[in-house]
Amino acid sequence: SAVISQKPSRDICQRGTSLTIQCQVDSQVTMMFWYRQQPGQSLTLIATANQGSEATYESGFVIDKFPISRPNLTFSTLTVSNMSPEDSSIYLCSVVVLLASVNNEQFFGPGTRLTVL
């Protein structure tokens, strides 16, 4: 498995501002993903974070709203830009660990609970 940390664990923000969420993994991973979980809902994939290149976004998510960086194999950031109350969600990063990549088992971070007022 992998130990995944996210910062911040939670935040309350004003509309119109931006928040950057960090995801750090203790081992090298092949793939990193960002998910959103809106209140009372299941998880929806936002994008795949690609090392050294632009992220691959799912339908309904755009780079201007959710810019993502992944400078190396163990770290990624997700920014939620120009926030509105509809962005209030839990944001989770997940990884596929290199040594376990044959199974492609995904492990999740603890999540960042965002509330936008």
Partner 1 sequence: KQEVTQIPAALSVPEGENLVLNCSFTDSAIYNLQWFRQDPGKGLTSLLLIQSSQREQTSGRLNASLDKSSGRSTLYIAASQPGDSATYLCAVSTTAGNKLTFGGGTRVLVKP
Q: Which residues are near partner 1 by CB under 8 A?
A: 1, 30-31, 33, 41-45, 48, 58, 90, 92, 94, 96, 101, 103-111, 113
The DSSP string of 2-13 is --EEEE-SEEEE
Residue whose CB is less far from partner 1, 56 or 82: 56
- Closest distance of CB 53 from partner 1, Å: 16
Residue whose CB is less far from partner 1, 76 or 94: 94
- Closest distance of CB 109 from partner 1, Å: 6
Residue whose CB is less far from partner 1, 13 or 100: 100
**In contact, 76 and 69? CB cutoff 8 Å:** yes
**In contact, 26 and 3? CB cutoff 8 Å:** yes
